[in-house]
Structure 1
Amino acid sequence: MRRTRLVRSLVCIVLLFSLLPAVAQRKAAQSPPNIIVILTDDMGYGDIGAYGGRFVPTPNIDRLAAGGLKLTQYYSGAPICSPSRASILTGMQPGKWNFTTFLDTRKHNKDAEQIDYLTPEAPSIARFFKNAGYATGHFGKWHMGGGRDVTNAPGFAQYGFDEHASTYESPEPDPAITATNWIWSEKDSIKRWGRTQYFVDKTLDFMKRHKGQPCFINLWPDDVHTPWVPKVETEYTGKFPMNPQEEAAFKGVLKEYDVQIGRLLDGLKALGLAENTIVIFTSDNGALPTFGGARSGGFRGSKLSLYEGGIRMPFIVSWPGHIPAGKADDRSELHATDLLPTLSKLAGVRIPESYHGDGLDRSGMLLGKPSFRKKEMFWEYGRNDIAYNYPKGNDRSPRLAVRSGEWKLLMDADGSKAELYNIVKDPAETTNLQATEAKITKELSGKLVAWWQSLPKLNAH
């Protein structure tokens, strides 16, 4: 009898130990995912091989696309850095926080009718995730306050970040990359061509030290923004962009950037974190220069333009076992403001009831169910003639835009310069249908003016 009980006990112990791996796997599967948002600087739709890029091979970015979902209708919040970044952080239209163009000196900001820095009272995706138990880090460009003569911008902690390493255009620049009071210098201990590697190293180190705790990380390099200083260069000529043959310099920078994305992916795998990490790869705004439109991937426009080349960006998202691998979604629209509610839903992070953002929860679409976005998307660029005289020529767009379903309307705030495009049939925006589609033009212009008038305004001099 005693022997029988002993045998039964041993059998139970063996069964218990045999079940432990499955329990551990189930627990890992149920643990909140890590999230890395890679926001490339000034990367055009046509820079990446997976999107038809022809400049240099981008095997590592393409590898991310092969293991994830590629969207062809993702839109940034603005055609320039500061407001586009604010739209991701807050999940709101940047104009609601008085962001309209890049932040510069106090005089420039006043001329542009915008604020000097993002108020810490604004909502922050990092703060929401931190309050839910995530470790939060920001590694890379900030450009939502700080730098030049703006010395009173709030620090990263006030936006919900535990750790940071950032560039000159931030409230707390990293000494390793800001030896002088400028964007970059030969005196920096981390050279211009080594900065993305530096930010990737910071990201992997942060995740290693917080293993066992979910991480939310902004990995926001300042590549591939000019000045382009690839490894092969031995001295900076002082020209901007770097030299008259800038395409060669760009190719060198893009090639190295792709290598560093590969290091990130390999590093996640080595840490055992790749399977439960959502990786998003996108860009803050369009390219400039575009090299005759090639970097815009066939779209009209560039950085600083509300044509597609300025706001339609590459977007790749990967989460093994959850997000379909090797798929392309040509149907679904996604806006930068959607990232906050979407990532919160995927991670099980509760959004405060007091928060009222402009984005939509598009988690179902990312998980493999394509759908149209049931809400208009709005943009502005250019509140006056003082600070908004770019780009020149055919890429210069009207100052406001709205997309509603298959239609996109651009116009100035006074209703002039109206341009209407069927953006599904005519993504290159070649045929203005404003005169022949009067009803649609009137309907969308009314919505666009109403949206514009709802935004707060800071007056220039």
Structure 2
Amino acid sequence: MIRQKLLGLLLVLAAAVPVQAAERPNILLILADDWGWGDLGCHGHPYVKTPNIDRLAKEGTDFYRFTVASGVCSPSRTAIMTGHFPARYNIDGHFAWVPSNAKRGMPDWLSPQAPLLPRFLQQVGYATAHFGKWHLSNDMIPDSPLPSEYGYDRYDAFNCAGEQMPVHADAENAIAFIEECHRHDKPFFINVWMHEPHTPFHVVPKYRWRFQDLPERDNIYASVLSHADDRIGELLKTLDRLRLADDTLVIFSSDNGPARAARPTELELMYDTATGAGFGIAASKGTTGGRKGYKAALFEGGIGVPFIARWPGKIAAGKVDRTSMISAVDLLPTFCELAGAELPLDYQPDGISQVKALTGTQTSTREKPLFWRMQSAWPIPRAKPYHWASYAIVHGQWKMLTNRAGDYRELYNLADDPLEQKDLSKMHPDVTRRLQSEIESWQATLPESPSGGVFSELRTTEAPGPDKE
């Protein structure tokens, strides 16, 4: 009798495991670099063609109110990795040459000891991989930790120490990893962090031919976006071929808004130590869909980026969500809930799980505030009129931006005015004072300087050198 009961219990457990595993999706996070909200066919771009991203929008939900945690690369990616505002790590700008990091009060890399999304997923049985841009350090810092020290089973990357991955090999690497996971019946979490459309623009003749009737700068910009979109298409075809599409959450987003030259600039070649030679900033033609500012701004043009999520049968198809306020700091708690990964008791994310918002069972109105900190110029630069804010907060429908000294502020009601057209700071001084107080309380929780093993040996030996983003 006991043997029969034990056998029955084992059969029940064995039957339950596949059901639970099937409910945990594979996760494919496609993160572009400087891809503006308006640079999509499904967002109305007049000549950029993105049929594969448009397919994701048709088969999934397009979230219009998603924001990243910074207007530039490294802090934005830090938020995704940790679920924390990047200011908690003194990462307020891009990782560059060691003297530049030191001058700005930054570490030289994100600590591998930080709470990390891939490690949390790895601990509950996910195979984890990172392919493409890294920039949680810099290729000019040879003693920085490799991506493998951050919880990845496999990686091939650029903007990191060691050998640099060719920029167009991201999808190829990811497809091989997906096929391997499929053979071993293993759930996967994969970052595909694409180079496009960051400078240098590495054009391929096939794609320039597609847009041969456009002026040269538009041709260059459209061609690199089209090349990236085709690689995304190869990833989607692989999921279809392996019959994994229904079991995979696919997200397309960007690390910040589009780059733009501040003044008229000649089109010329430039060289990047991580990715090689290509066209420079003059070919940056990114658009923001009417949002103010560009990359490095805390206005919506700098932090409001595409966010399209597809998970057939779980996330609504063909839907546009104009109200759910989702942030990059939410990705860690969201992915961990979907994966069944319990967060450590001593870990307090700045983000919240957005599973209900993704699946459409509840709109995220977000009671928890969002904060931003950047090193921005003051007084307001004439050539960059929306790049002056050093702090910003969003709480409920209100967004307030303030300069470094805290003596100039602008206030917007994002529910009524998502494009930040009307400054309400004079009309609502009580709201302005309250949000300023919240920023000051948040500032008091931040470290004064980086600490731990986050400094290169080059700190004491390097002379000032190139500073690239």
TM range (shorter): 0.7 to 0.9
Amino acid across the alignment from 2:249? I
* CA positional deviation for 1:428: 2.2
What residue number does 1:200 align with?
171
Residues of 2 paired with 1:337 and 1:49: CA distance?
27
Assess, with a 3 A threshold, how the Cα gap between structure 1 residues 166 and 147 changes in structure 2: closer, same or farther: same
Q: Contact conserved, 1:307 with 1:397, CA < 8 A, in 2? A: no
What residue number does 2:116 align with?
124
Partner SS state of residue 75, structure 1: coil
* CA positional deviation for 1:52: 2.2
What residue number does 1:306 align with?
298
Residues of 2 paired with 1:365 and 1:233: CA distance?
40
Gaps of 5+ in 1: 1-22, 178-194, 236-243
Please state if 1:56 is matched with 2:29: no
Residues of 2 paired with 1:325 and 1:348: CA distance?
24
TM-score, normalising length: structure 1: 0.83
What residue number does 1:360 align with?
352
Please state if 1:426 is matched with 2:417: yes
- Counterpart of 2:437 (choices 436, 446, 457) is 446
What residue number does 1:231 align with?
204
Please state if 1:289 is matched with 2:260: yes
What residue number does 2:195 align with?
222
Assess, with a 3 A threshold, how the Cα gap between structure 1 residues 383 and 143 changes in structure 2: closer, same or farther: same
Map 1:55-454 to 2 at 5 A.
Answer: 55-148=47-140, 150-167=141-158, 169-174=159-164, 177=166, 195-196=167-168, 198-211=169-182, 212-232=185-205, 245-289=216-260, 295-368=287-360, 369-382=362-375, 392-454=383-445
Moved over 6 A (4+): 23-26, 290-294, 388-391
Gaps of 5+ in 2: 1-14, 209-214, 262-282, 451-458, 465-469
Residues of 2 paired with 1:28 and 1:402: CA distance?
39
Length, aligned pairs only:
408
* CA positional deviation for 1:151: 2.1
Residues of 1 paired with 2:231 and 2:121: CA distance?
26
Assess, with a 3 A threshold, how the Cα gap between structure 1 residues 418 and 354 changes in structure 2: closer, same or farther: same
Partner SS state of residue 201, structure 1: helix
> What does the per-residue CA deviation read over 1:14-73, in whole Å, with 9 as the maximum and x for residues that have no partner?
xxxxxxxxx899749735211011110000010012222223221110000111111000
* CA positional deviation for 1:426: 1.9
Partner SS state of residue 31, structure 2: strand
Query: Which of 1 and 2 has greater Rg?
Result: 1
Residues of 1 paired with 2:17 and 2:142: CA distance?
49
Q: Contact conserved, 1:421 with 1:431, CA < 8 A, in 2? A: yes
Assess, with a 3 A threshold, how the Cα gap between structure 1 residues 57 and 37 changes in structure 2: closer, same or farther: same
Residues of 1 paired with 2:377 and 2:381: CA distance?
12
Partner SS state of residue 53, structure 2: helix
What residue number does 1:187 align with?
none
* CA positional deviation for 1:261: 1.1
Partner SS state of residue 310, structure 1: helix
Residues of 1 paired with 2:217 and 2:155: CA distance?
31
Residues of 1 paired with 2:323 and 2:232: CA distance?
27
Moved more, 410-419 or 74-83: 410-419
Partner SS state of residue 432, structure 1: coil
Amino acid across the alignment from 2:416? K
Partner SS state of residue 73, structure 1: coil
Q: Contact conserved, 1:146 with 1:152, CA < 8 A, in 2? A: no
Amino acid across the alignment from 1:418? R
Partner SS state of residue 64, structure 2: strand
Q: Contact conserved, 1:293 with 1:301, CA < 8 A, in 2? A: no
Assess, with a 3 A threshold, how the Cα gap between structure 1 residues 390 and 318 changes in structure 2: closer, same or farther: farther
* CA positional deviation for 1:454: 2.2
Q: Contact conserved, 1:35 with 1:278, CA < 8 A, in 2? A: yes
The percentage of counterpart residues that share the same residue type is 36
TM-score, normalising length: structure 2: 0.82
Assess, with a 3 A threshold, how the Cα gap between structure 1 residues 396 and 384 changes in structure 2: closer, same or farther: closer
* CA positional deviation for 1:383: 6.5
Q: Contact conserved, 1:47 with 1:54, CA < 8 A, in 2? A: no
Amino acid across the alignment from 1:366? L
